[in-house]
């Protein structure tokens, strides 16, 4: 690099001031400034409201960089084309000077004071949209020229008012001309400067690194959640969720599943006629979070790049210079084939397949053997009518699948002819498969796995026994940490610590570590565990329990104490707010001094909805409260199911509250829980 930098900018007063402003942060550098008019400066007849060339203000400057006539070009960041021309690189993006827009008007009238029909000049489609949202009675006209030339058009009456970037007015010492700052959403790059050099100029990139605000940006990862069942989330997607600071999710993801992640979680779902956020707003949320340095996950049902606005979000973020990554998911259109055993292609029947959106009623089915229709649930009849009118055989078979891969997945079969006539309403979301491959349902039977409903907070290790449907009927939330800290400081007064669940271990040691202490603080206090799962949690915390019964129950712990003839002592038991009386009362009867402490709350989750139990073969209860909450949600315990219980108290609760006194229809698999969690 030469001792004197060759810098190029447009020849307007504002552009020159921007260059001087930038180098004001680098007083040790010397530079030669080259100025010239851009294509846009010469062609003021081109309206910027009507899709002008992307490089209208940068083309000539970029050519000077590529030819070696200049080392760097300094642009207004929002003028950069996306993507940059080949051979060029953005080496620095500066902090915005001012991101707002201002109104310049005759007699300094504010926006609400302008008369209906007043002409307001702007060069930005975004500003036009924002203006008309507030004042649809105004006339928006295209305006070109330097800031000074535009203000002159206000003074000579060509326009009644002008919208201009506040930063431009301030840089030109013209901010006194602003009647008011407008409440507009402005271009994300407004007020920022962009430094462009030839690709490979790492010397320049290092030179201006401190001026580049992108070094403080986070990253946005678009993650495909798959068709709905969390088991189908990819390993890469799971890693991204674990590392995220903030997750933006939609309707086609499992909300309960997300609760296990530490990230803040924001719903941005869009269903038919019910949009929580406009797509433009979602994109700005992602951008703002990344600019704030967050690791952002945009979680989408299916695959992010298949009917999911993923391309729009990537283009928006990358055009605003935010690092992005896309992690694929299993698209519902592909998952439906595997999960119904209806192939999309089959030798001799179908060798081509198309994926289309069914949002529009007049959609034309492509001329492929198989057509998979996304988002067509509201237009089934007109889609079928249109397909027949355009030559599809009326007898063509159709499969409609609701909630693919989820526990309440439903499959419906029909034909185009039937769908074109019937008034039936199908549940949504639906994926629709049209084609002769659907007739293979008469020959291919989906492999049926035993379906197991797990009602505790953990799925345990039941996947090897069947298809797990996870519906947590309890929600765990820690109680006051300060109160527990006070108890921990007095532990030296106790002989024993009894842990009755993995959660009591988790919250106890989290609090202990938060006090700057570890397991050594327990000193000579002996520790008892109620069973294997709790003991595994203790081992993670660096504790080997002194005693542990073979079965996961309070009764088993009491029996073990008696068998080992352990001398009564003073015991502290951190546990659930719904902890059973069996253990403390049993210990007291044996002569122990017992103090219990509610270290966490066990409650029924809000907004639970029953699922269809007809396809469920086995129901797993991991605690008595799961049994109680199941009864509250479902109103009873269906016959002909297999039931699995953790602990005798869980089974006892089931028998105590079962409204059907005849238990002959139930299959008790007590003990299976322990065998599957070792």
For 600, the 3-state DSSP assignment is strand
Query: Domains of the chain (ranges plus CATH)?
Result: 4-95+192-214 (3.40.190.10), 101-182 (3.40.190.10), 217-330 (3.40.1010.10), 334-442 (3.30.950.10), 451-474+606-676 (3.40.50.10090), 477-602 (3.40.50.10090)
Q: Give CA separation, 214 vs 95, 487, 588, in Å.
A: 9, 47, 64
Mean pLDDT value across residues 253-262: 82
Candidate from 213-227, 252-266, 460-474, 597-611 with smallest mean pLDDT:
460-474
| pLDDT tens, position by position, 525-555 | 999 999 888 898 899 888 999 999 987 788 8
Nearest to 625 by CA among 587, 665, 652, 664: 652
Cβ neighbourhood burial of 45 (10 Å; 0-12, 13-18, 19+) = exposed
Burial 182-219 (b: 16+ CB within 10 A, else e): bebbbbbbbbbbbbbbbeebeebbebbeebbeeeebbb
Give the whole-angstrom CA distance, residue 331 versus residue 251.
15
What confidence tier does 676 reach under pLDDT thresholds 50, 70, 90? very low
C-alpha torsion sign, points 301, 306, 309, 310? positive
User: Is-contact 249 265, C-beta < 8 A?
Assistant: yes
Give the Cα separation of 22 and 67 in Å (integer). Answer: 23
pLDDT band at 665; cut points 50, 70, 90:
low
Return the axis-axis angle of helices 648-657 and 624-634, rounded to nearest 10°.
30
Catalytic residue among 305, 375, 452, 673: 375
pLDDT at 159: 97
- Chain segment 26-65, per-residue pLDDT in tens: 999 999 999 999 999 999 999 999 889 999 999 999 999 9
Give the 3-state secondary structure of residue 643: strand
pLDDT of 328 strictly over 90: yes
397: helix, strand or coil: strand
Instruction: Say whether 254 is catalytic.
Output: no
Buried b / exposed e over 299-333, threshold 16 CB at 10 Å, is: bbbbbbbbbbbbeebbebbeebbbebebbbbbbbb
| pLDDT bracket for residue 450 (50, 70, 90) | confident
Sign of torsion, CA 12 13 14 17?
A: positive
Q: How far apart are alpha carbons 490 and 475 in whole angstroms? A: 29
Distance from C-alpha of 658 to C-alpha of 673, rounded to nearest angstrom: 21
259 pLDDT band (50/70/90 cuts)?
Answer: confident
Q: pLDDT tens across 221-235, in order?
A: 999 999 999 989 999
d(CA 123, CA 144): 7
pLDDT band at 446 (very low <50, low <70, confident <90, very high): low
Segment 13-19 mean pLDDT:
97
Name the pLDDT band for 89 (thresholds 50, 70, 90): very high
Q: For residue 580, what are the contacts with CB-CB under 8 A and spacing of at least 6?
A: 554, 624, 649
Q: Are strands 193-198 and 264-267 parallel, antiparallel or unpaired?
A: unpaired
Give the chain's count of helices (H) and strands (E): 22, 32
* Axis crossing angle, helix 554-563 with helix 648-657, rounded to the nearest 10: 130
Backbone angles phi, psi at 137, to 5 degrees: -85, 0
pLDDT grade for 674, boundaries at 50, 70 and 90? very low
- Residue of higher predicted confidence among 345 and 422: 345
DSSP state of 122: E
369 contacts 353 by C-beta, under 8 angstroms: yes
Running DSSP on this structure, what letter comes out for residue 548? -
The torsion defined by the Cα of 224, 230, 235 and 239, in degrees rounded to 10, comes to: 80
Strands 139-142, 30-36: pairing is unpaired
Active site residue 160: no
DSSP, res 428: S
Residue 575 β-bridge partners: 598
Res. 457: pLDDT tops 90? no
Task: Reply yes or no on whether the pLDDT at 675 is more than 60.
Answer: no
Q: What is the pLDDT of residue 270?
A: 67
Asked if pLDDT for residue 415 goes beyond 60, the answer is yes
Whether 14 has a pLDDT exceeding 90, the answer reads: yes
Closest CA to 426 of 438, 406, 410, 437: 410
Q: What average pLDDT score do residues 551-570 get?
A: 89
Is 250 considered catalytic here?
A: yes
Binning pLDDT at 50, 70 and 90, where does residue 667 land?
A: low
Gap between the Cα atoms of 46 and 54, Å rounded: 12
Residue 491 pLDDT exceeds 80:
yes
The pLDDT assigned to 11 comes to: 96
Of 6, 109, 170, 270, the active-site residue reads 270
Lowest mean pLDDT among 68-82, 130-144, 615-629: 615-629
342 vs 648, which has greater pLDDT?
A: 342
């Amino acid at each position: 690099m030469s001792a004197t930098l060759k810098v190029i900018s447009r020849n307007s007063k504002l552009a020159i001031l921007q260059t001087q402003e930038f180098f004001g942060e680098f007083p040790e550098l010397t530079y030669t400034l080259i100025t010239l008019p851009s294509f846009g400066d010469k062609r003021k007849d081109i309206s910027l409201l009507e899709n002008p060339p992307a490089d209208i203000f940068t083309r000539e400057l970029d050519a000077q960089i590529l030819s070696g006539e200049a080392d760097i070009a300094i642009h207004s960041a929002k003028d950069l084309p996306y993507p940059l021309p080949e051979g060029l690189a953005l080496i620095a993006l500066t902090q915005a000077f001012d991101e707002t827009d201002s109104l310049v008007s005759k007699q300094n009238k504010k926006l609400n004071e302008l008369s209906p029909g007043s002409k307001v000049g702007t060069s930005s489609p975004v500003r036009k949209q924002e203006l008309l949202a507030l004042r649809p009675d105004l006339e928006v006209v295209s305006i070109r020229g330097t800031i000074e030339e535009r203000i002159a058009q206000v003074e000579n009456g060509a326009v009644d008012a002008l919208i201009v970037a506040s930063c431009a007015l301030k840089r030109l010492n013209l901010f006194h001309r602003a009647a008011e700052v407008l409440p507009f959403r402005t271009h994300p790059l407004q007020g920022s400067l962009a430094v462009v050099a030839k690709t490979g100029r790492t010397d320049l990139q290092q030179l201006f690194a401190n001026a580049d605000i992108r070094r403080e940006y986070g990253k946005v990862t678009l993650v495909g959640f798959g068709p709905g069942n969390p088991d189908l989330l990819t390993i890469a997607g799971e890693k991204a969720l674990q590392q995220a600071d903030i997750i933006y999710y939609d309707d086609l993801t499992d909300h309960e599943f997300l609760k296990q992640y530490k990230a803040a979680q924001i719903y941005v779902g869009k269903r038919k006629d019910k949009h929580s956020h406009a797509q433009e707003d979602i994109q700005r949320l992602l951008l703002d979070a990344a600019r704030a340095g967050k690791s952002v996950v945009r979680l989408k049902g299916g695959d992010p790049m298949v009917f999911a606005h993923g391309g729009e979000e990537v283009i928006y973020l990358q055009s605003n210079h935010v690092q992005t990554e896309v992690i694929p998911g299993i698209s519902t259109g592909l998952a439906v084939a595997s999960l119904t055993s209806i192939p999309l292609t089959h030798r001799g029947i179908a060798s081509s397949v198309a994926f289309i959106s069914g949002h529009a009623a007049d959609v034309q089915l492509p001329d492929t053997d198989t057509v998979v229709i996304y988002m067509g649930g509201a237009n089934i009849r007109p889609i079928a009518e249109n397909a027949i009118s355009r030559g599809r055989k009326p007898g063509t078979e159709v499969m409609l699948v609701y909630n693919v891969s989820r526990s309440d997945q439903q499959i419906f079969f029909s034909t185009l002819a039937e769908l074109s006539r019937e008034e039936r309403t199908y549940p949504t979301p639906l994926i629709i498969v049209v084609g002769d491959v659907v007739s293979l349902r008469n020959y291919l039977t989906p492999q049926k796995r035993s379906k197991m409903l797990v009602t505790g907070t953990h799925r345990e290790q039941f996947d090897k026994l069947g298809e797990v449907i996870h519906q947590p009927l309890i929600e765990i939330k820690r109680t006051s940490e300060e109160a527990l800290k006070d108890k921990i400081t007095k532990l030296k007064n106790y002989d024993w610590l009894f842990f009755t669940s993995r959660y009591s271990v988790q919250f106890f040691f989290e609090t202990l570590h938060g006090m700057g202490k570890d397991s050594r603080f327990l000193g000579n206090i002996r520790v008892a565990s109620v069973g294997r799962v709790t003991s595994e949690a203790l081992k993670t915390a660096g504790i080997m329990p002194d005693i542990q019964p073979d079965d996961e129950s309070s009764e088993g712990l009491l029996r073990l104490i008696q068998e080992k003839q352990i001398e009564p002592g003073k015991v502290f038991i951190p546990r659930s707010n719904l902890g059973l009386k069996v253990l403390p009362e049993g210990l007291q009867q044996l002569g122990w001094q017992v103090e219990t402490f509610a270290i966490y709350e066990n409650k029924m989750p809000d907004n639970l909805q029953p699922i269809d139990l007809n396809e469920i073969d086995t129901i797993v209860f991991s605690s008595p409260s799961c049994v109680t909450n199941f009864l509250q949600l479902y109103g009873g315990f269906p016959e002909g199911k297999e039931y699995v219980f953790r602990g005798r108290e869980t089974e006892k609760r089931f028998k105590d509250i079962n409204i059907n006194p005849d238990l002959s229809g139930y299959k008790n698999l007590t003990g299976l829980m322990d065998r599957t969690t070792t």
